[in-house]
Amino acid sequence: MRSGPLLLLLTLCLPAFVQAEESPQPPLAEATSTQAQIDDLEQRLALSEEQREALGAQLKSTSNEREIAQLQRLRQDNQRLRLELKKAQASAPPPLITAQQMWFATGAGAGLLGVLIGALLRGGRRARREWLN
């Protein structure tokens, strides 16, 4: 028998055989010192929370000031770009033909192309259009 699967089975079953030991209860003197430590830690936590809130408010106010300044710069840039766009549109020459004229020219070209193709297909010969009796 292979030792690999057996070893794997033993390592998987090992945690079921091992049990954790419970630590004994601390004596009464240690319990009071533990309570004092808990109270001290709670006070430090409250102080830390107050400092965190104060720091958060301070950072928020400085970030708001930065955001307001950035917003003003962006608004100025937008106004400047709008003015440049209006100047560029005003100085641009008008198009040579409009869209309506372009469609008209396209239709006329298609019609002329159709007449030309029809003339070429008909050829130089003239067919008589008479009924044969």
State how far the Cα of 67 lies from the Cα of 63, in Å rounded to an integer.
6
Residue 116 has pLDDT above 80, yes or no: yes
Q: What is the pLDDT of residue 128?
A: 58
Average model confidence (pLDDT) across the chain = 80
Q: What is the pLDDT of residue 112?
A: 97
Q: Does this model's pTM top 0.75?
A: no
State how far the Cα of 69 lies from the Cα of 75, in Å rounded to an integer.
10
